[in-house]
Amino acid sequence: MSPLAANAGRDRLRIAIQKSGRLADPARSLLAACGLSWRESRDRLFCYGESLPIDLLLVRDDDIPGLIADGVCDLGVVGRNELDEQAAERRRNGLAPAYRELRGLGFGRCRLMLAVPEHWEWRDAAQLESLRIATSYPALVNEWLQAQSVAASVVELSGSVEIAPKLGTADLICDLVSSGATLVANQLKPVETLLDSEAVLAGPVREPDDARAPLAAMLLRRLDGVLKLKDSKVLMFRANAEQVPGLLRLLPDAEPPSRLTAGVEAVNGAGAMQAAAESGLLSLQALCHGAVTWQLLEELERAGAQGLMVLSVERSLV
Ligand code: PRT
Ligand code: ZN
């Protein structure tokens, strides 16, 4: 489909996500947390957006960068590894960039790593001269080799990369690693990281200038709210003004002190606030990113905090 045909008269936003695989469920959950809902189609390739004019296209992850480049989709959720590989491939073919990463989404984390047989003594990339590297990411590996000024040959494989050294089709590999168990099972060890990857939201280099633009902006704003609050908690407590600096030092992951506000919005009720005001205590709240453990609460209590309460954050536009 030509980009023009794909784009003509579209007033609904279309997002490509993986149909099945590692990124499929988390991508859906994340979009649902942004307030999107869909009517499932029978063929399960296209889901019509019900709550908002935002539809889903369910595809293979490898197809997502191309669908964005062709204007068939406006956004896509795809691994950075896949996006960067196809971008490197475009560069190799002298094509202009066609998509860009808009947000890291914090799931599907893995690393593209060079791995060598366990018994090798690894020093540096110069060792790779004239060797064969099996990978499903030839463009990224070639760019990396070039940056290292090393001439090695890249053997492209679409799957089962890690058995290539055993089969004798390559000397080492470059593949995605998450737990590292697959490498261990194949007597390989990771030695260099070429890319830190996670699922990303990708979009075209040129944004649409029609009804899809405000939809995309709204989605990004909601997404930022969801991502920011993913592991966040509101911590509420009371303390004397002079104890506040010491308490803040115990909350390194909290929003800056300016966000720690006195009184007014406290949810522990007017009665408690009144009592706090009368006793000369401040009612305080801090938005904390990261774990708020029992141990932290106990330390805060020892440092003078009273009436500690930890609350989940449902939604926020910040
Ligand atoms: O059908 P479709 O083409 O859509 O799916 P796919 O089979 O190409 O992709 P899928 O679902 O396997 O992976 C989708 C994306 O998940 C990848 O592009 C990465 O961005 C991300 N991801 C995260 C991973 C891994 N972790 C991962 N561990 N993708 C693949 N692996 C493989 C890796 O290649 C190796 O074979 O898992 C094995 C290693 O795992 P560990 O835990 O033993 O290190
Ligand atoms: Zn794939």
Q: Which two tokens stand for residue 155?
A: 């053997």
pTM: 0.84
Helical pair 80-92 and 138-147, crossing angle rounded to 10 deg: 70
Nearest-angstrom CA–CA distance, 202 and 251: 34
Highest average pLDDT, of 2-16, 96-110, 272-286, comes from: 96-110
DSSP bridge partners of 47: 56
289 or 181, which is more confident?
Answer: 181
With a cut of 60, say whether residue 250 has pLDDT above it.
yes
Q: Whose CA is nearest to atom 14 of ligand 1?
A: 22
Beta pairing, strands 99-104 & 199-204: antiparallel
DSSP bridge partners of 110: 197
Q: Write down the pLDDT at residue 313.
A: 86
What share of the chain has pLDDT > 90, as a percent? Answer: 71
317 or 220, which is more confident?
Answer: 220
- Cβ of residue 132 lying under 6 Å from some atom of ligand 1: no
Interval between CA 170 and ligand 2 midpoint (Å): 22
Backbone dihedral region for residue 92 (phi beyond 0: left; psi -120 to 50: alpha; all else: beta): alpha
When mean pLDDT is compared across 144-153, 194-203, 211-220, 268-277, the lowest value belongs to: 268-277
Which position has the token pair 């002190």?
Answer: 257
DSSP bridge partners of 154: 133
With a cut of 90, say whether residue 318 has pLDDT above it.
no
Nearest-angstrom CA–CA distance, 317 and 213: 19
Interval between CA 82 and ligand 2 midpoint (Å): 8
Q: Write down the pLDDT at residue 272.
A: 45
Give pLDDT tens digits for 161-210: 999 999 999 999 999 999 999 999 999 999 999 999 999 999 999 988 89
Query: Helix %, strand %, coil % for the chain, to 5?
Result: 35, 30, 35
- Cβ of residue 177 lying under 6 Å from some atom of ligand 1: yes
Q: Whose CA is nearest to atom 11 of ligand 1?
A: 21
Mean pLDDT of the chain: 89
- Cβ of residue 23 lying under 6 Å from some atom of ligand 1: yes
Q: Looking at the CA of residue 82, tell me the nearest atom of ligand 1.
A: 18
CB 175 within 8 A of CB 50: no
Nearest-angstrom CA–CA distance, 55 and 37: 9
Which position has the token pair 């405000």?
Answer: 214
With a cut of 90, say whether residue 64 has pLDDT above it.
yes
Q: Write down the pLDDT at residue 248.
A: 85
Reported in sequence order, the residue ranges of the chain that DSSP labels E, i.e. its strands, are: 13-18, 38-39, 46-49, 54-59, 75-79, 99-104, 110-117, 132-135, 153-156, 172-177, 188-197, 199-204, 232-239, 261-262, 282-289, 306-312
pLDDT category of residue 1 using cuts at 50, 70 and 90: very low
Average pLDDT over residues 260-270: 43
DSSP bridge partners of 191: none
Phi, psi of 247 (to 5 degrees): -65, -40
Average pLDDT over residues 265-281: 50
Interval between CA 22 and ligand 1 midpoint (Å): 7
Give pLDDT tens digits for 149-170: 999 999 999 999 999 999 999 9
Selection from 83, 138, 78, 87 nearest residue 108 by Cα = 78
pLDDT category of residue 273 using cuts at 50, 70 and 90: very low
Q: Whose CA is nearest to atom 39 of ligand 1?
A: 177
- Cβ of residue 232 lying under 6 Å from some atom of ligand 1: no
With a cut of 60, say whether residue 266 has pLDDT above it.
no
With a cut of 90, say whether residue 278 has pLDDT above it.
no
Q: Whose CA is nearest to atom 22 of ligand 1?
A: 108
Q: Write down the pLDDT at residue 259.
A: 44
Residue 240, classed as helix, strand or coil, is coil
pLDDT category of residue 267 using cuts at 50, 70 and 90: very low
Nearest-angstrom CA–CA distance, 261 and 236: 10
With a cut of 80, say whether residue 280 has pLDDT above it.
no
Selection from 75, 47, 45, 70 nearest residue 59 by Cα = 45
Q: Write down the pLDDT at residue 57.
A: 96
